[in-house]
Amino acid sequence: MRIKFLLAVFFISVIGFAQSVNDYKAVIVPLKYDFMKSENQYRMATISKGNLTKAGFQAFYANEELPVELNDRCQLLYMDVKKDNGFLVTKLFVELKDCYGTVVYTSEIGKSKEKDYEAAYRESLNMAFISINGLHYKYSGNTVAPSRKAGMITAAPVAVAASVTPSQPISTPVADVADPNLLYAQPTENGFQLIDKTPKVVMKLLKTSRPDSFIAIKDGVQGTLNAKDNQWFFEYYQNDKLVSEKVSVKF
């Protein structure tokens, strides 16, 4: 009876994962994983994209220009490959994350006893994709609602609401989703971090008493991010002169 119960829980879990993965339109593939020394080393990015396509996903490299219908980055999944420690065995597994970095799905661990690095990585990755193929992915057409997803960080609306009072009706700029340089705001404990399409952290923001102004840090330079004329501007001093850079942000 206990075995039947455990099997039922297992199948429910698999279905749950498949349904959540099916709500995303495509997958972004990085050109380099943390355990690699260079981009597409051992053709790992190429193999990743090929396996995703074989599993039914739309897949794009992180540096590819995306179709207009995929401009909303939170409708996409972001692939990562992790290396697990193993004695004389290469172990890899795949993670599919949402735009906030929350893991939506983790594959089974693929293993290889090959001594050659390239052969071992390729075999391990292909083995990991067996479980992903088993999801039988098919886009559901549903719109992903990050604030309602289990495990999703939901601090963004709270942070903005906390700094606005009825006597202070301040409107913030509306993001242009067609802008190729659009940055996406991920909530942090004290504000936000802005990521690009890679995704890479470009700027860190600290909350102030106003929702239209942040303390901003970019490449070691500290300044402010301010809303002006329905646009965001990163402002800082360089050689005693005020520099103002327009920044496109989606909160």
Share of the chain above pLDDT 70, in %: 82
Q: What is the pLDDT of residue 210?
A: 83
- Beta-bridge partner residues of 226: 213, 233
Which candidate, 82, 81, 78, places its Cα nearest to that of 97?
78
- pLDDT average, residue stretch 150-178: 46
Q: What is the pLDDT of residue 159?
A: 31
Which of 73-77, 175-179, 192-196, 206-210 shows the lowest mean pLDDT across its residues?
Answer: 175-179
Question: Which residues have CB under 8 Å from 84's CB, separation 6+?
Answer: 91, 92, 93, 109
Question: Which residues have CB under 8 Å from 164's CB, separation 6+?
Answer: 170, 211
3-state secondary structure 49-112: HHHHHHCCCCEEECCCCCCHHHCCHHHEEEEEEEEECCCCCEEEEEEEECCCCCEEEECCCEEE
CA geometry: angle at 249 spanning 140 and 230, to 5°? 120
Confidence of residue 145 (pLDDT cuts 50, 70, 90): low
Which candidate, 6, 28, 9, places its Cα nearest to that of 17?
9
The pLDDT tens digits of the residues spanning 37-81 come to 999 999 999 999 999 999 999 999 988 888 888 888 888 999 999
Residue 24 has pLDDT above 70, yes or no: yes
Q: What is the pLDDT of residue 242?
A: 87
Residue 115 has pLDDT above 70, yes or no: yes
Residue 180 has pLDDT above 90, yes or no: no
Length of the chain, in residues: 251
Q: Under a CB-based contact definition with an 8 Å cutoff, are residues 192 and 186 in contact?
A: yes
> Going from the N-terminus, what domains does the chain have, and what CATH number goes with each?
2-133 (3.30.160), 153-250 (no CATH)
